[in-house]
Structure 1
């Protein structure tokens, strides 16, 4: 940032206060203090101080984030019980939100292109370069927490040659990592706007979701971590294309290959498409999986190398409940055995949200998917609650969504609802309203 604005610096605490004031000014409903929108906004803003405390007081910060994450799980699990979703206008019109959205996005992208990228993003770019040159990556592969899947390196392959051509081979990996972060955030913002316009029938809601995504401090703190933003961006587009199971399956397959946590969403999405579109959804996701495995074969010289890149790249220690975890995070100071009841509750939550209700609509799919992703962070030992960007876009879609009772994938339900809305007799169909005449 010093290259553009000399002696200009915004600390994390300053960004928190600025985003706090702007978020309240634009989204807080002062005419209805006791509203669900205000409660969700306060929850979103109250979890951000935990990210600041993690750097100065790790124990307090991790406890803060763990409690806030648990509250979000409860909120998403009971979202479908809030049937009344009154339309709430923002305190800024669409043109003002669009201007503010473009301005903040530009500010964040200047940070991306002027600061050092995240090390895991640079590592993904190097793996993409190895994929293009078909080199074995097992000797140079660095274990990250969490490890990015093959989707990131596959989607980064078009970026690497472009970056190399732009800088003539000088520090091309850094430029490619910055372009990846830019594209990941852009796909999230555009996806949220399209989601509001197409499925919520309100472009203003799409702008509101995109603006709040850019305003929240967690986005600015981890703005260069493309590996964390990429799965969320793919899941947003899976929701955007949910009416087309083939496209939705492609995005879901890519999301599962980008990070491990979208795999837990597959039972829920399978139950959603069970009677209409399940075969197309499963087939397209399977094709994506085959393509991702093929990309790993290109960078494996033998069977041992391929096994190490697939099964060996997974950190199986997260599923071992033995001994203490000497790693940063909430569970770093506790025995792993304490995570057993949390993990059991997580499995039961997946089962309950998958089975109930039997006939699901888009509202159930969004809230239940978000609840499962957030619940993953409660038992994940490697700084789980810190990864807010994993679920933030989906959480915003649930917060701003209107009533979506008509968005079920079951055609029988749609026909039943349409028949129930028809008049019950010819007399009711022919009734007209006549204004009384004045004498």
Structure 2
């Protein structure tokens, strides 16, 4: 970038102020100050200063993020109580939002190629290289345990040969592959949000709005090179895109569980969503993905000890312990780890409540409850914890921008009844007719 714009540099504070102004100009509803959209927008903007405080004032920054994370959990847990969701137009048309999306994404590409990749992404690329060459990766995992699971190395495998072919000079092929991984992960999120808006929200402008706000928010720019944190969110977005096809949705959910640990807590919720209609296909496809991931680990293991080292040995079990949190950066570093126990108990109760209530769930319930569970995970997670905003940001934006999803609920109900040979219930038909009347 210095060859095009000499001395070009955008600090994190500068990006925050630019993002603040652009976000308010495009998304803030000045005609309806007291609206749910504005409330969500303010919460998203207020959590960003916590990331800035982490550098000079880590205690303040971690506390700020912890409180903001707790507010988001409450907001997502009660989202379905807001029945009236009027259509909210953006202050910029679709062409303007598309132009901003392309422009900001171009700046992200430049930033990815001008800064050093995240160490855990480099580690994932090296494990993917071992997978392609069928070499033992147990020593690599033992030397520096990777943050991501086997899904990351499996999806990174196609990138490694390309980086080996185009690398020139002193550039390391692992560095190039890590940068390409980061760009592709963000691209999958952006494309998934646009398709989600077009297909399931019946509004392409909403999809562009979600993609633009994802790119505008400071947390995306700050962690733009952390591909391993973006990857599970991208897979979850595509699980929502394909939610009407339990086989495809199960594949994306299985890959997400293999990318990082937190999607495992979503399985009871998604199982209750499909239940008698599609649960077998969802579980079967997820199990098939698990078999493939285990097979990829077997290919890079020379013996039983190496396989154990790559599976059980690569997991950071200190995350699940309730002692030693003081030795890890994050909110719990300044507090006794015993206080995490009641937080974890509340987290389990939250999963139970959101799984069993309501009994008949639609896409709106699935999105808000999924987001609430992911955000709640960060409250007891000791390692950085609330800093990982990219884990849930795409799903949070889908909840913020979603309209009333009665048309998608009706289509999914019809698809399920056609597959099972049943007719829609009279209660469902009555609810659809009443909803259409009230929306008019």
TM-score, normalised via structure 2 length: 0.93
> Are 2:287 and 1:286 aligned?
yes
**1:253 corresponding residue in structure 2:** 254
What is the deviation of 1:324? 4.5
**1:26 corresponding residue in structure 2:** 26
**1:17 corresponding residue in structure 2:** 17
Conserved? CA contact 2:325–2:382, under 8 Å = no
Conserved? CA contact 1:228–1:389, under 8 Å = yes
Aligned residues: 424
Conserved? CA contact 2:19–2:217, under 8 Å = yes
**1:429 corresponding residue in structure 2:** none
**2:61 corresponding residue in structure 1:** 61
**1:389 corresponding residue in structure 2:** 390
Conserved? CA contact 2:142–2:313, under 8 Å = no
**1:420 corresponding residue in structure 2:** 430
What is the deviation of 1:146? 7.2
What is the deviation of 1:318? 1.6
**1:158 corresponding residue in structure 2:** 158
Q: Deviations over 1:239-292 (max 9, x none)?
A: 000000000000000000000000000000000010210000000000000000
Stretches of structure 1 lacking an aligned partner (at least 5 in a row): 424-439
Q: Deviations over 1:43-77 (max 9, x none)?
A: 00000000000111000000000000000000000
Conserved? CA contact 1:145–1:382, under 8 Å = no
**2:42 corresponding residue in structure 1:** 42
What is the deviation of 1:413? 9.1
**Alpha-carbon distance change, 184 to 413 in structure 1, aligned in 2, over 3 angstroms:** farther
**Alpha-carbon distance change, 192 to 321 in structure 1, aligned in 2, over 3 angstroms:** same
Bigger drift between 180-189 and 143-152 goes to: 143-152
SS in 2 for 1:87: coil
Q: Deviations over 1:400-434 (max 9, x none)?
A: 000113444554795435642799xxxxxxxxxxx
**Alpha-carbon distance change, 143 to 89 in structure 1, aligned in 2, over 3 angstroms:** farther
Stretches of structure 2 lacking an aligned partner (at least 5 in a row): 434-440
Conserved? CA contact 1:146–1:382, under 8 Å = no
What is the deviation of 1:382? 0.0
**1:350 corresponding residue in structure 2:** 351
Conserved? CA contact 1:406–1:414, under 8 Å = no
What is the deviation of 1:98? 0.6
**2:184 corresponding residue in structure 1:** 183
> Are 2:230 and 1:229 aligned?
yes
Match runs of 1:39-438 below 5 Å: 39-141=39-141, 147-167=147-167, 170-408=171-409, 411=417, 414-416=424-426, 419-420=429-430
What is the deviation of 1:10? 0.5
**Alpha-carbon distance change, 150 to 421 in structure 1, aligned in 2, over 3 angstroms:** closer
Q: Normalized per residue, which structure has more helix?
A: 2
Q: Deviations over 1:90-118 (max 9, x none)?
A: 00001111111111111111111122111
SS in 2 for 1:21: helix
**Alpha-carbon distance change, 80 to 143 in structure 1, aligned in 2, over 3 angstroms:** farther
Tell me the C-alpha RMSD between the 2 structures: 1.8
Bigger drift between 137-146 and 369-378 goes to: 137-146
Conserved? CA contact 2:29–2:37, under 8 Å = yes
Larger Rg: 1
Q: Which whole-Å CA distance do the structure 2 matches of 1:25 and 1:9 have between them?
A: 24
TM-score, normalised via structure 1 length: 0.93
SS in 2 for 1:120: helix
SS in 1 for 2:88: coil
What is the deviation of 1:325? 2.6
What is the deviation of 1:355? 0.2
Bigger drift between 311-320 and 369-378 goes to: 311-320
Q: Which whole-Å CA distance do the structure 1 matches of 2:336 and 2:375 have between them?
A: 22
